[in-house]
């Protein structure tokens, strides 16, 4: 699936949404959201947005506004200048800009390697991880 073909939906500043939200494309929230987000696309929380969630899951999450609740992103989380996040973050990559208020814990998750760890020798598995991360021996 090519990223260029994904749709972009924007919840405007006047939009107030409460409930469970699921999507596969890209979403920008500029208004108020309360509930749960479970997505496989990209999610952006604009500087005017206020979100109170149990959990916010997406491939990538960029926060410029306020989020209260846990964030889970398969690819990355970015906290932009002036954002405020209260909750735990689980992601593979994290970027936090200056002037960010963050209260919570961070758990860095690794992408699952292509190698099946239960069918290879430990040295072979370790070598596959070293090759993936580009570390020198």
Q: Give residue 120's pLDDT.
A: 55
| Residue 85: HSE in the Cβ half-sphere, 13 Å Cα cutoff | 30
pLDDT digits (tens, 9 = 90+) for 39-79: 999 999 999 999 999 999 999 999 999 999 999 999 999 99
Mean pLDDT lowest among 111-115, 117-121, 131-135: 131-135
Q: Give residue 133's pLDDT.
A: 45
Compute the distance between CA of residue 134 and CA of residue 96 in angstroms, rounded to an integer. 24
The pTM of the full predicted model, rounded to 2 decimals, is: 0.77
pLDDT digits (tens, 9 = 90+) for 68-107: 999 999 999 999 999 999 999 999 999 999 999 999 999 9
For 22: left if phi > 0, alpha if psi spans -120 to 50, otherwise beta; the answer is: beta
Listed in order, strand segments (DSSP E) in 30-120 are: 32-39, 42-45, 50-63, 66-79, 84-86, 89-96, 101-103, 106-108
Contact between 74 and 92 (Cβ < 8 Å): yes
Residue predicted with more confidence, 70 or 115: 70
**Count of beta carbons in the 10 Å neighbourhood of residue 60:** 19
Q: Would the CA dihedral through 93, 25, 83, 33 be positive or negative?
A: negative
Compute the distance between CA of residue 26 and CA of residue 98 in angstroms, rounded to an integer. 26
């Amino acid at each position: 699936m090519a990223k260029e073909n994904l749709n972009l939906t924007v919840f405007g500043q006047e939009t107030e949404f409460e409930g469970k939200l699921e999507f596969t494309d890209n979403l920008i929230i500029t208004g108020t959201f309360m509930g749960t987000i479970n997505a496989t696309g990209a999610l952006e929380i604009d500087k005017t947005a206020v979100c109170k969630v149990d959990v916010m899951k997406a491939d990538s999450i960029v926060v410029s506004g306020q989020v209260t609740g846990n964030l889970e992103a398969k690819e990355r989380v970015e906290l932009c200048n002036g954002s405020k996040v209260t909750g735990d973050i689980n992601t593979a990559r994290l970027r936090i800009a200056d002037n960010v208020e963050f209260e919570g814990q961070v758990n860095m998750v690794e992408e699952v390697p292509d190698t099946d760890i239960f069918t290879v020798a430990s040295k072979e598995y370790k070598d596959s991880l070293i090759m993936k991360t580009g570390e020198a021996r």
